[in-house]
């Protein structure tokens, strides 16, 4: 697949205790399919979950869908 089905952005939380806290925002990137889950997105989510579980700095995970394509 040429484009990522899951986009991940990590946002540093200022003043977190302990320091280094991160909010991880995951965006399902299949707006043309209304962000429906498929095998590739399931695989990407499982991998992202494993990586988040292993990272002690991640405090919160937010999962959202990409906005639908614009149609005038």
Q: Please report the pLDDT score of residue 17 as a whole number.
A: 85
Q: Please report the pLDDT score of residue 1 as a whole number.
A: 42
The domain limits of the chain are 6-65
Q: Please report the pLDDT score of residue 53 as a whole number.
A: 97
CB-based contacts of 65-69 (< 8 A; 24+ apart in sequence): 65/27, 65/28, 65/31, 65/34, 65/35, 66/7, 66/27, 66/28, 66/29, 66/30, 66/31, 66/35, 67/31, 68/31, 68/34, 69/31, 69/32
pLDDT over 90 at 44, yes or no? yes
Residues 4-43: tens digit of each pLDDT: 999 999 999 999 888 999 999 999 999 989 999 999 999 9
Class of domain 6-65: alpha beta
């Amino acid at each position: 697949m040429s484009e990522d089905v899951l986009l991940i952005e990590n946002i540093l939380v200022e003043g977190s205790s302990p320091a280094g806290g991160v909010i991880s925002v995951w965006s399902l990137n299949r707006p043309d399919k209304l962000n429906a889950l498929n095998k590739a997105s399931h695989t990407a989510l499982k991998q992202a979950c494993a990586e988040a579980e292993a990272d002690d700095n991640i405090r919160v995970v937010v999962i959202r869908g990409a906005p639908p394509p614009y149609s005038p």
